[in-house]
Amino acid sequence: MTAMTQDRFGAPDTLRMVQLNRPQIGSGEILLKVHAAAVNPYDWHMIRGDPRVARLMGGVGLTRPKARIAGVDVAGRVCRVGADLQELQPGDDVFGFARGAFAEYAVADASLIARKPADLSFEEAAALPMAAVTALHAIRDRGHARPGQRVLVNGAAGGVGTFAVQIAAALGADVTGVCSARNSDMVRSIGAAHVINYEAEDFADGRVRYDLILDNVGNRTIGDLRRAVTPGGTVVVNAGGSPGKVFGAVGGLLRAAIVNLFAKQRITMVPTTWSKGDLLAVTELVDAGHVRPVIDRTYPLAETAAALQHVEAGHARGKVVIAVA
């Protein structure tokens, strides 16, 4: 099979296209023929081994990448299933979280795979897992958004942001999206009642206060965010950081945790756990017409490095997808 691999930490251009044997599966696992994969900030963090402190936590690798093939978000067709699995069978179209999605074949735990929404293409389905589940956790589970509440999404035009706007609107919230002027119409079209152009306005000036703020950017201090949220409101922090940092978003998350001990407002972080239940909840939103992926660009597998560089630059409009087959 063709796969994009790396043997050392570095920029996306360290990836190389090689031919490998198809991976083997074990109990509780599924072999997928990958039709599409999506790119997340998570992926370039893994490829760079960034922030540096993450290498000490065991999930990335200390001196070289723990996973030779990157990529998590996947949509494709089941090729083989573990002997103990019955729910999914070869030929089923699925989406979810896999290991090594930037390849023609990938292995996934059956507990992290669900049937693909029938109305979505493979490319659209691949755009869902990490970004949509993160938005669901942030808006529904941590933010507890309710009808009539004022919800602000900072970074509303990005991967998580586009889903967060739609999910908050589906829950009946009055949504404000913060984005650039060029993305204002798109953010309105997916459910934002109000749009703030960050180049001309400051959402944290205290003139309007929100019941829930989701920060996907990390360009404001915790103090700024607290000034913009109601006394009993919630700030959900989901900032991915930028390349080349020692602590990256980890430092900001630690500061948020400390402030939360003393602040009247609730400062919380998005959990990094995933489940089939999350995927099924996202599927329900898609089937009900409440959520639809916004796809910025689609790249062939051979141009995975370019796709990662585009996401790293921080200006992707919705999701960036890799069309594999």
In the chain, domain spans: 2-128+293-323, 131-269
Q: In 10 A of CB 298, how many CB atoms?
A: 17
Specify the pLDDT at position 295: 98
User: How does DSSP classify residue 137?
Assistant: I
Instruction: Judge whether 225 and 213 are in contact, CB under 8 Å.
Output: yes
Q: How many whole angstroms separate alpha carbon 61 and alpha carbon 64? A: 6
Q: Residue 243: exposed, middle, or buried by beta-carbon count in 10 A (0-12, 13-18, 19+)?
A: middle
Decide which of 240 and 266 is more confident: 266
Highest mean pLDDT among 47-56, 198-207, 239-248, 251-260 belongs to: 198-207
Q: How many whole angstroms separate alpha carbon 80 and alpha carbon 61? A: 29
Is the pLDDT at 247 greater than 50, yes or no? no
Terminal CA-CA length for the chain: 12
Decide which of 295 and 253 is more confident: 295
Q: What percent of the chain clears pLDDT 70, i.e. is strictly above it?
A: 87
Q: What percent of the chain clears pLDDT 90, i.e. is strictly above it?
A: 74
Instruction: Judge whether 146 and 175 are in contact, CB under 8 Å.
Output: no
Is the pLDDT at 102 greater than 80, yes or no? yes
Is the pLDDT at 240 greater than 60, yes or no? no
Is the pLDDT at 126 greater than 90, yes or no? yes
What average pLDDT does range 204-215 have in this prediction? 95
At 53-98, the pLDDT tens digits run 554 445 565 566 778 899 999 999 999 999 888 899 999 999 999 9
Output the CA torsion 139→141→142→146 (10° steps): 60
Specify the pLDDT at position 243: 46
Highest mean pLDDT among 61-65, 189-193, 239-243, 314-318 belongs to: 189-193
The letter for the amino acid at 245 is K
At 22-39, the pLDDT tens digits run 999 999 999 999 999 999
Residue-averaged pLDDT of the chain:
90
Q: Under DSSP, is residue 111 helix (H, G, I), strand (E, B) or coil?
A: helix
Statement: the pTM of the whole predicted model exceeds 0.95: no
CATH value of 131-269 in 3.20.20.60, 3.40.50.12780, 3.90.180.10, 3.30.420.10: 3.90.180.10
* Fold: same for 2-128+293-323 and 131-269: yes
Residues 6+ apart with CB under 8 A from 97: 72, 73, 74, 108, 109, 112, 113, 129, 130, 274
Specify the pLDDT at position 179: 97
> 37: part of which helix (H) or strand (E)?
strand 29-39
User: What are the C-alpha distances in Å from 2 to residues 22, 74, 127, 202, 324?
Assistant: 9, 16, 21, 47, 10
Specify the pLDDT at position 244: 45
What average pLDDT does range 214-228 have in this prediction? 92
Tokens describing residue 135: 């938005």
Tokens describing residue 91: 């030929």
The DSSP secondary structure of 183-249, one letter per residue, reads: GHHHHHHTT-SEEEETTT--TTSSSS-EEEEEESS--S-HHHHHHHEEEEEEEEE-----TT-SSTH
What average pLDDT does range 308-317 have in this prediction? 91
Residues 6+ apart with CB under 8 A from 37: 71, 73, 74, 75, 101, 102, 106, 126, 321, 322, 324
Instruction: Judge whether 37 and 122 are in contact, CB under 8 Å.
Output: no
Specify the pLDDT at position 29: 97
Specify the pLDDT at position 168: 98
Angle, vertex CA 125, rays to CA 302 and CA 115, nearest 5 = 120
As a CATH number, domain 2-128+293-323 is: 3.90.180.10
